[in-house]
Structure 1
Amino acid sequence: MHISPFAICVAMIVGLGILGLPIGHSMIVATIVYLLLSGLDLGTAAEQVLNGLFNSYVLIAIPLFILAADLMNIGSLTDKLLRFCLVLVGRFRGGLGHVNVVANMIFAGMSGSAIADAVGIGRIIVGMMAKDGRYPVAYAAAITASAAIIGPIIPPSIPMVVYALVSDASIGYLFLGGVVPGVLLGVGFMVANSLIARRRNYPVEAPVPLREIPKITIDAFPALMLPVILLFGIYGGVMTPTEGAAAAALYALFASTVIYRAVTWKQLYEAILTSGKATTSIGMLIAGAFAFNYVVTVERIPDGLNVFLSQFDFSRATFLLAVNILLLILGCLLEGTTILLIVVPILIPTAKALGIDLVHFGVVVVVNIMIGLLTPPYGLLLFVLANMTGQPLGSIVRQAVPFIVLAIVVLGLITIFPDLVLWLPRIMGYKG
């Protein structure tokens, strides 16, 4: 029985991944085997990787956003933001849950990474919520993990940078498209937290004395200015998103070291090292995807998928529904960047053929992938919070169910009503 080189290639990626080899390495190895079995030049794998990495200026934004997030975590920016959020929403029932969500919405304008948000804010806010038994630790972990998915939806966003890489959609308009869905998620989570807090009688925080509010606001002002500088710089035409990422990292360094004076040389070294490790991990994954995407192109998989789907006479709504179901299932099993780099490029030609706007499609895809961070068995945010708090994974999942359901409702709304995504980009001149 003849087995096609492509089938062997896919089987190797899955098999090596199951055995524990990082997915980026698995794709590179499988691509080399495919080239060998197909009688093609083995050097093509290296050529695809190098051409892809060197020709993608947009990729430079990823390590810079990661560095900005790490610099904010070691400085006292996170502490200042949390105190400011406590002033805003701490006095309401379930106030610390609200603080968690609002802080993530503000922090979202800086890091672009859900994991960075969960680690940066989570370490502090979970301790605040669990202190003296005010909230169950599992609930604190669940709302922290849920709120962290807002980060890559409200701009800037590392997953949107990756999507722009594979789709050629405008990063700036993708960022703008994420604003309304991100705010909808934040408001939805706060409503859910309020209802849960009332039903379980969670405490109300003591209001911050009026005389302290000006000082807390002034202390938080440099931290609050980062998203303002970043977004007005990008949408004011002063800098590209990549240059904006560099500005974010530089400003985070300046605020942490000069304004707040909260960083030692050792912490700075560790932040750069941590950022380098995270960048290397993502870089290998992107390199592997460039190599594997060559295989997908040679095998004409997108064309074949188009022909296959054309038999079913899909409407836009039906196709988007199918994509949502597919990505929600894959989100339970695969890491988000892997889905963006391998699965999404295959779907984009069909989306184009059906006349689906690529900015709208990109935001729908990213929201899907963020929900995948909360869904077991591969919900990465769940693992991060379980490891951070020492709580059983099952307990955190049970507490996170209302937030996961709400996130899926928001996903349904932005799928059915594209204007929720495209309204703000169109105001800023988008013609799509």
Structure 2
Amino acid sequence: MSFELGMMLLALFGLAGMGLPIAYAILCAALLYLELSGRGVGLAGKLLMDGLYQSFVLLAVPLFIVAANIMNAGSIADRLLKFCIALVGRFKGGMGHVNVVASLIFSGMSGSAVADAAGIGKIIIEMMTKDGRFGRGYAAAITAASATIGPIIPPSIPMVLYALVSNTSIGYLFFAGIVPGLLMGVVLMAMNVYISHKRGYATEAPVPLRDMPRTTARAFPALMMPVILLSGIYLGYTTPTEAAAVAALYALVVAAFIYRELTWRSLYAVFADAARSSASVGIVIGGALILNYIVSDQKIPEMVARAMVGLDVSPLVFLLMVNLIILALGCLLDASTIILVIIPLFIPTCRELGIDLVHFGVVAVVNCMIGLITPPYGILLFVINAVTGIPLAEIIKEIWAFLVALVLALLAMILFPDMVLFLPRLLGYQG
């Protein structure tokens, strides 16, 4: 290890340990490396300009954020929740199922786990805990766990970031996330059934079948957004980035002209919040671009690849090892940092071992999402705590059962790659 790299790592962990946000810690440590190695901050500017302005794919991130914020405005969430209650509320542990299905639907709008948790989290937790039907810790835990589905079913901001570092097709990544996202929903609902029977949680009053068409019609415009998004990509009318623009425009039309609930004041709030969120992601990306240059300059990916190949491990063993590492890092780092900084280290080895990069990307993103609910630093636990006031200890106590269910789903995705690659291959993927 060179002196410059050692000082950079010392600065990175020291600043992060003192509580500086990880994005700023990465930027400061990377700039220190460039200064010590005699390259200067001018190179940092060039790397940022090249990375941010030559990557057309990055435009999808703020556009998906705008679309999600618009769809979360007004009564759209309320309409979708009523549709979910009509669909699955009648089964044992009804509101728990509603929670998961609502996340499956909202995942087709936001692409962000935090947006899903903050967007409908408080509403649905209040519905679950009304009249003591569910414990508040349980309601918060299943809300946090179901929010992890958000970035798996398209659109997905983490998959856009993975496509950036791996040069993989966003379209195929989006389609590859559909079955794993549904699997995550199924295992969470299965765990909800088990716990609901064990604790005697209530079901909701069945919605009469004659009311279903009206309930569906009220939610139909919002339900069509993921359909429009994916059909545009699949039929070749739009690139994924253009599809993000179409999604934002469609969300605007639905909220402003169909539901008539978007005012100029709320539209300003939507754009302001989207700008803040996009800037946060941009800072992480900027730091990662400089750090990735340093990692490449030090030839770390080649060293990792040689070490792994030298161990003569099978692709399956390598995947299991990498996922254990990501799972451990997920307890400490946010998903964007892992995807932009850590995962690129393993991509050369994946190519050497013949591991499909679409499969690897989906598995890695799922793993990162599980990290969002892994104690002690799972960010979704803190988000739910912040929006509801439910003590963190109560949420952590209830999260373990759902954590186990999601890890089992992740293991199934690793062991059975066809589960992930089925839809992309059906649509022409040759990997």
TM-score (norm: length of structure 1): 0.97
> Alpha carbon RMSD of aligned pairs, Å?
1.2
Distance 1:322 1:135 in 2: 38
Identity of aligned residues (%): 54
Indicate conservation of the 8 Å contact 1:75/1:257, yes or no.
no
Deviations 1:264-291 (A, max 9, x none): 3222211111111010000011001111
Indicate conservation of the 8 Å contact 1:46/1:291, yes or no.
no
Deviations 1:105-159 (A, max 9, x none): 1111111111111111212111111111111111111111111111111111110
1:105 counterpart residue number:
104
1:263 counterpart residue number:
262
Distance 1:111 1:371 in 2: 18
SS in structure 1 of the partner of residue 343 of structure 2: helix
2:213 counterpart residue number:
214
Distance 1:39 1:25 in 2: 21
1:419 counterpart residue number:
418
Distance 2:362 2:388 in 1: 31
Deviations 1:355-403 (A, max 9, x none): 0000000011001000000101220111011112212212112211111
Indicate conservation of the 8 Å contact 1:137/1:389, yes or no.
no
Number of equivalenced pairs: 431
Indicate conservation of the 8 Å contact 1:335/1:378, yes or no.
no
1:90 counterpart residue number:
89
2:141 counterpart residue number:
142
Judge which range, 16-25 or 152-161, deviates more: 16-25
Distance 1:384 1:285 in 2: 19
Q: Which amino acid aligns with 1:343?
A: I
1:151 counterpart residue number:
150
Distance 1:108 1:93 in 2: 24
SS in structure 2 of the partner of residue 412 of structure 1: helix
Distance 2:230 2:2 in 1: 51
Distance 2:213 2:176 in 1: 33
Indicate conservation of the 8 Å contact 1:76/1:262, yes or no.
yes
Q: After TM superposition, give the deviation of residue 3 of structure 1 in Å.
A: 6.5
SS in structure 1 of the partner of residue 107 of structure 2: helix
Summarize the alignment of residues 172-183 of structure 1 with structure 2, pairs less than 5 Å apart: 172-183=171-182
Q: After TM superposition, give the deviation of residue 258 of structure 1 in Å.
A: 1.0
Indicate conservation of the 8 Å contact 1:17/1:26, yes or no.
yes
Summarize the alignment of residues 23-62 of structure 1 with structure 2, pairs less than 5 Å apart: 23-62=22-61
Distance 1:402 1:21 in 2: 32
TM-score (norm: length of structure 2): 0.98
Distance 2:25 2:386 in 1: 26
1:354 counterpart residue number:
353
Gaps of 5+ in 1: none
SS in structure 2 of the partner of residue 150 of structure 1: coil
Distance 1:248 1:370 in 2: 23
1:65 counterpart residue number:
64
Q: Which amino acid aligns with 1:407?
A: L
Q: Which amino acid aligns with 2:76?
A: L
Q: Would you identify which runs of 4 or more consecutive aligned residues in structure 1 move more than 6 Å?
A: none
1:324 counterpart residue number:
323
Deviations 1:276-316 (A, max 9, x none): 10100000110011111111111111111122223211110
Distance 1:227 1:335 in 2: 26
Q: Which amino acid aligns with 1:39?
A: G
Distance 1:415 1:213 in 2: 38
Indicate conservation of the 8 Å contact 1:71/1:253, yes or no.
yes
Distance 1:115 1:281 in 2: 13
Gaps of 5+ in 2: none
Distance 1:212 1:310 in 2: 60
